[in-house]
Amino acid sequence: MKKRNIAVIAGGDSGEYDISIKSGSVVAEMLDKNRFNAYLIQIKGSDWFYAIDGQKFKIDKNDFSLTIDENQISFDCVFCAIHGTPGENGKLPAYFEMLKIPFTSSDSLVSAITFNKNFCNRIVSTFGVAVSSSIHLAKGQHFTTDQILDSLSLPVFVKPNAGGSSVGMSKVKNAGDLSQAIRRAFEEDDEVLIEEFIEGRELTCGALSNKGKMIVFPICEIKSKKEFFDYEAKYNPALADEIVPADIFGELEIHIKQTTAMIYNRFKCKGVVRADYIYSEKDETLYFIEINTVPGLTRESIVPKMAGEMGISLTELFGMMVEDAMER
Ligand SMILES: Nc1ncnc2c1ncn2[C@@H]1O[C@H](COP(=O)(O)OP(=O)(O)O)[C@@H](O)[C@H]1O
Ligand SMILES: [Mg+2]
């Protein structure tokens, strides 16, 4: 079979730029060289390029093609490794949909909705999954901290509504710290979500659809040594333990896996996703926190660890994602 040209897109315009470049580099390196020609395409603002031997070749945005030494390369598939905007939030998926180039992550609508934590939580709660009580604020909207604390009890989490890697997020225990936390979150986004803190075990579960069959990965438990799974804890292995497989068995294990598969199917997600939860032992309830439609794919990331635990190599995992995208 003819080798396929795959554009692995990485970078983007969020605080997750560096992680995305790492994820993309791993994908480009590990895609099976007998089946694919992988090109790592870096995207930052309007600068989209492929770099080799210190030379930069620009992407032609009219058709997402690349010309190297008068050789025009068109892509059979795009592997999206951009966490945050413009990959995970649907902007680039919409562009590739218009160009009719297959891509590995969820479609533009699903990416946009799931990236918006407020919309995502509203929809997931209609699936019968518990979510934390919350208040959503838009920039310019009048509010008082008293109003917020009348409906939510401390501690609360204050988050940019469409963020990632815990950037701009705070856990607030004292009423006096709430305004500052809200100001901080508004530095990252025009909308802020304030959620009640759920006490419990942090669990995350990944899933992938391949050839019409759902693969649900082993559950991972995150034990952060910081106050929560913040930016530092996410990227400094000494500050969090990520235990795969988690010490979760029986009914609860089945429930978490079924919930993840159900959310994946109801949203019609594509490629690999990772859903984050807190399990409250007190309420015996699994609370949904968020779903990541472009989860980290560096060697240290959670999804590669989950796949490894199942005996699926990175080459197999990335190959399945590309195959699945091209068969849609
Ligand atoms: N309602 C909550 N209750 C308890 N912990 C939370 C809650 N919301 C977020 N967290 C903690 O904050 C981390 C980041 O929150 P999350 O919504 O997943 O943002 P991000 O998209 O930046 O990963 C979670 O991994 C968890 O440790
Ligand atoms: Mg998260």
CA of 166 to the centre of ligand 2 (A): 7
CA of 316 to the centre of ligand 2 (A): 25
Instruction: Report helix, strand or coil for 147.
Output: helix
Report CA Rg, the chain: 20
Q: Pick left, alpha or beta for residue 271 (phi over 0 → left; psi -120 to 50 → alpha; otherwise beta).
A: left
In single-letter form, the type of residue at position 23 comes to S
CA of 165 to the centre of ligand 2 (A): 6
> Within 10 A of 84 (CB to CB), how many other CB atoms are there?
22
Which residues neighbour ligand 2 (ion) by CB within 5 Å? 276
Domain segments of the chain as ranges: 4-104, 112-130+199-327, 134-196
Query: In this structure, is the dihedral angle defined by the CA atoms of residues 202, 208, 214 and 218, taken in order, positive or negative?
Result: negative
> b/e map of 175-209 (b: 16 or more CB within 10 Å)?
eebbeebbebbbebbebbbbbbbbebbbbbbbbbb
Q: Is the CB of 229 under 6 A from ligand 1?
A: yes
Length of the chain: 328
242: enclosing H helix or E strand: strand 240-243
Domain 134-196 superfamily per CATH: ATP-grasp fold, A domain (3.30.1490.20)
Domain 4-104 classified CATH 3.30.420.40? no
Q: What is the CATH T-level fold of the domain 112-130+199-327, as seen in this structure? A: D-amino Acid Aminotransferase; Chain A, domain 1 (3.30.470)
CA 162 – CA 192 distance, rounded (Å): 8
CA 271 – CA 277 distance, rounded (Å): 20
147: Cα within 13 Å, side-chain hemisphere: 7
Site to substitute for ligand 1 among 231, 276, 282, 294, most atoms within 8 A of C-beta: 276
| pLDDT tens series, the chain, 328 aa | 789 999 999 999 998 999 999 999 999 999 999 999 999 999 999 999 999 999 999 999 999 999 999 999 999 999 999 999 999 999 999 999 999 999 999 999 999 999 999 999 999 999 999 999 999 999 999 999 999 999 999 999 999 999 878 889 999 999 999 999 999 999 999 999 999 999 999 999 999 999 889 999 999 999 999 988 888 888 888 999 999 999 999 999 999 999 999 999 999 999 999 999 999 999 999 999 999 999 999 999 999 999 999 999 999 999 999 999 999 8
CA of 103 to the centre of ligand 1 (A): 28
Q: Is the CB of 115 under 6 A from ligand 1?
A: no
